[in-house]
Amino acid sequence: MAFALADLSTEVLRRATRDQGGTLYATAATNAINTSMWRIAREAKWRTLRRTATINTVTTYSTGASTAALTNGSTAFTISDALLITNDIRVGRYIKFDGSVIYFKIATITSETTGTLNQVWDGTTTGATPVAWSILPQEEYVMPIQIGHSAFLWHRKYGMPKIMDYVPAFDFYKAGVLDILTNIPVSYRMWGVGACLEELKAPSVIQLSSTSTADVGISVTIFGTVAGYPDYEILATNGTAAVNGAKSFSQVERIVKNAANVGLITLTANTGNTTVGALPVGASTTGPVYHKVQMYPLPNSVFPIYVFYYKLPYQLINPGDVPELGEDFSEAIILLACAKMKAEQNLAQDAQNFMMMYKDEIASLRKTNLDKIDWKMILKSAGEDGGNEWQGGLRFAQIGGSGQYGGSWNP
């Protein structure tokens, strides 16, 4: 039988405090249980935490005969017949216009057909002769929620499994590759960790609402950038009714709340066209953290990329919550939680004894619950592996040469 949070708490309080103090140590026990569970999850590649997820690529966006109007020296652009918001075009994507050799990036999207660029238009003012345009494939993608460690990405676009190479960002840019190249992605690099699920399309007030009418008066603090400076704003939930902020954020970096919520609290911007983030049900005060990756080359079609990873278990909140690690890990969680509580009480010998029992339990779990690894992720720095360094580019075989498929990086 799996131990739920109530069972784990009862056992930790019995062993660590001999049930002294009534409910005095209840919160401390719950906190020790959760931190112990997360520590154990990081100890090894446990079979029960192995997960797989899918990321769908986003490729080039254009509308055929549509044209763009631009003014020399201005960052503003207008595109006829475009549906930038409806098609969820993200800021940061490259956009190419005839009449300039520059690959611009979209800085803001202000309507279905208008926005601004990351630098001024260097071409001739279009006037009555608008120019052709094309938005390049999306480069950045959000990894699965609660992703832990040892993740790797792969796809079947070559007709067989192809593991994508992890490339440190420094090595990628040092190689001087053509980062606007469009093809089948063969590598990725980690690119940021934060609470923002999607960047704002343009500076906007933040709107929040919950899926439960019971979530009233919960203070949600939004940290980010307002008018070019670090700032924050506190909004109070009003059940399922939408609550609008007053400050116009250009970037959101962190979202926290001060109490448990019954429903999912969602934060949106740009009149609901941008999902900034979400606060899951529970007592955790901080929202989930999203890991992001950038792919190279930019995807030339829409297809699934698979993510294999070990997840970080969800926090135990309610008495009936059961650890995702599985029932075999109950004793290890209890022993480590007891060691933590004994150490907090300056009972060094008791803490050491519990820690010794914990280590023995972990050693036993490794024999029966450790994943039988059929893959191994090793991150290497430049210069390892015989001195070869990642140089970017694609092999001839990867672009169809010699009738071959698949391929690897040039040494």
Spell out the domain ranges in the chain: 5-46+325-368, 52-57+140-195+292-311+380-403, 67-135, 207-288
Residue 399 reports pLDDT greater than 60? no
Instruction: Out of 115-119, 177-181, 310-314, 401-405, pick the least confident.
Output: 401-405
Q: Are strands 67-70 and 76-79 parallel, antiparallel or unpaired?
A: antiparallel
Cα–Cα distance for residue pair 404/84, rounded to 1 Å: 38
Query: Is pLDDT at 365 greater than 90 in this prediction?
Result: yes
Alpha helices in 112-216 (DSSP H): 169-174
Whether 299 shows a pLDDT value over 80: the answer reads yes
Strand 243-244 versus strand 274-279 pairing type: unpaired
Q: Residue 400: pLDDT above 50? A: no
pLDDT for the residue numbered 314: 86
Query: Once rounded to an integer, what is the mean pLDDT over residues 394-405?
Result: 42
- Position 58 scores a pLDDT of 97
Name which residue leads in pLDDT, 1 or 230. 230
For the cut 70, the answer to whether the pLDDT of residue 181 exceeds it is yes
What residues contact 376, with CB distance under 8 A and at least 6 apart?
A: none
Going by pLDDT thresholds of 50, 70 and 90, the confidence category of residue 288 is: confident
Q: How many CA atoms lie within 13 A of 305 on its CB side?
A: 29
**Reported CATH class of domain 67-135:** mainly beta
pLDDT at 238: 97
Provide the edge-to-edge strand list for the sheet that holds 187-194: 140-142, 290-296, 187-194, 165-166
CA distance 280 to 211: 11
- Kindly tell me if the per-residue pLDDT of 364 is higher than 70: yes
The b-or-e profile of 313-332 (16+ CB within 10 A means b, else e) is bbbbbeeebbbbbeeebbbb
What value does the mean pLDDT of the chain take?
A: 88
Asked if the model's pLDDT at residue 383 lies above 70, the reply is: no
Length of the chain: 411
The answer to whether 237 and 208 have CB atoms below 8 angstroms apart is yes
Of the pLDDT bands very low, low, confident and very high (cuts 50, 70, 90), residue 108 is: very high
Three-class secondary structure of residue 105 per DSSP: strand
Instruction: Fill in the amino acid letter for 84.
Output: L
Residue 395 scores a pLDDT above 70: no
Distances (CA, A) of 172 to 166, 176, 179, 186, 286: 10, 7, 9, 13, 33
Quote the pLDDT of residue 402. 41
Q: Tell me the HSE value of 272 on the side-chain side, using a 13 A CA sphere.
A: 3
The pLDDT tens digits for 46-94 are 999 999 999 999 999 998 788 999 999 999 999 988 999 999 999 999 9
Is it the case that residue 405 has pLDDT exceeding 80?
no
pLDDT more than 90, % of the chain: 73
Work out the average pLDDT over 184-193: 90
Catalogue the E-assigned strands of 169-311.
Answer: 182-183, 187-194, 207-210, 216-226, 229-238, 243-244, 249-257, 265-269, 274-279, 290-296, 298-299, 304-311
Cβ pair 258, 218 in contact under 8 A: yes
Of the chain, the end-to-end C-alpha distance in Å amounts to 53
Give residue-wise pLDDT tens across range 320-351: 999 999 999 999 999 999 999 999 989 999 99
The residue-averaged pLDDT of 7-12 equals 95
In this prediction, what percent of the chain has a pLDDT beyond 70?
90
